Amino acid sequence: MAFQASILLCLLVLLPRVDMSSTPNRGVRLELTHADDRGGYAGAERVRRAADRTHRRVNGLLGSVDEPSTGKLRSDGAAANVHASTATYLVDVAIGTPPLPLTAVLDTGSDLVWTQCDAPCRTCFPQPSPLYVPGRSATYANVSCRSPMCQALQSPWSRCSAPDPSCPYYFSYGDGTSTDGVLATETFTLGSDTTVRGVAFGCGTENLGGTDNSSGLVGMGRGPLSLVSQLGVTRFSYCFTPFNATAASPLFLGSSARLSSSAKTTPFAPNPSGARRRSSYYYLSLEGITVGDTMLPIDPSVFQLTPMGNGGLIIDSGTTFTALEERAFVALARAVAARVRLPLASGAHLGLSLCFAAAAPEAVDVPRLVLHFDGADMELPRESYVVEDPSAGVLCLGMVSARGMSVLGSMQQQNMHVLYDLRRGLLSFEPAKCGDL
């Protein structure tokens, strides 16, 4: 663990600091759009898509611990598997000089910032905006194979070829999406008046799959190539508006990210030393779950993270419904069912497994639900764990089961202002009306 941390620290020191020009000490505010808003999805279809996206996302997150031999190999021997790129929240930024607007997936579970590039583009999936053309930008520059930026991208099993002056990369995602290209630097525009020069990003010229009406991905993880690491900001926060709302969700970078003195705080857990591909994740220590007034009899080992990256819980922007390790989910489902006391119903059309028959779902009394983290209890309001489908007469638990790890999803974070303090290694949160921030 100490060795891994020292390597990361060295890379952060060696990486050139990007040049950010904006109003001094103000920070940056961006708007996040839910991916289903742009597709016009609502009601049961929106829930079903979210459940399907959650399962694919969690499977991709679990797949990130696979050995490199399971990944696709490039002709130059480079390989990498990371988690599913399935989109939940999208952010609008601009790239190049002159700036070209693009929409990208916001991802707290990965590092690389990348977009599709017409350089030329050998294979590109459909996207809502024109392709970025490096040759039309005055600020595009390739990254060399031996540069610190390229070294930050590479791993022992994924190296650039010494004779090649460029820094090639290949990333495949658990949902079938992949991007293949070169690492470069470019000027990015965040919001209306924040210009960031020299951001390292992946210029993908062979891309498969898709990223839900977007042009690429903005990694916000813990590694040196994430946007927050490159900007050098010590904190960021977001506040997700309700799952069924169409209002944008605010994202704050730097000094604009702040909570009140009453916010609750829990430390990030150390990343596993034996799973390099999980070094981007934000782990939390979940110590138990209360339903009603009763702490569930869940063995603490269910939520423990092993050195090889098994188990544990991460907080994630790309997973909609919280996924609990199977033994914890079974205990939770039994406790909820015992207290709701309604006939069970099929939730297959929603993709959820614990549902009840209810002529008036909104009138059903449900037990309180509290997640106990290290030093902080997160009591969820009803709308953050109950899914209602009045047309079908069902009420469901908005969580799913997983094997191998647990993930705190965005629905359980809705109407909660969540702050990542990168300098102190802390996560803070407090209830908020996100649409009013």
316 among known catalytic residues: yes
Torsion of CA 11, 12, 16, 18, to 10 degrees: 150
What values do phi and psi take at 122, rounded to 5? -75, -45
| CB contact at 8 A, 21 and 223 | no
Of residues 107, 175, 180, 389, which has the active-site annotation? 107
Whether omega for the bond prior to residue 68 falls within 30 degrees of 0, making it cis, is: no
Q: Which residues of 99-120 are buried (b: 16+ CB within 10 A; e: fewer)?
A: ebebbbbbbbbbbbbbbbbebe
Let me know how long the chain is.
437
Residues 6+ apart with CB under 8 A from 193: 22, 23
H or E element, residue 185: strand 178-190
Of residues 111, 180, 316, 389, which has the active-site annotation? 316
Q: Token pair of 204, please? A: 């993908």
DSSP per-residue codes, 327-372: HHHHHHHHHHHHHH---EE--TTTT-S-EEE-SSGGG-----EEEE
DSSP-derived 3-state class of residue 426: strand
107 among known catalytic residues: yes
What values do phi and psi take at 69, rounded to 5? -65, -20
What single letter denotes the amino acid at residue 108?
T
DSSP 241: P
Instruction: Name the CA radius of gyration of the chain, rounded.
Output: 21
Question: What residues act catalytically?
Answer: 107, 316
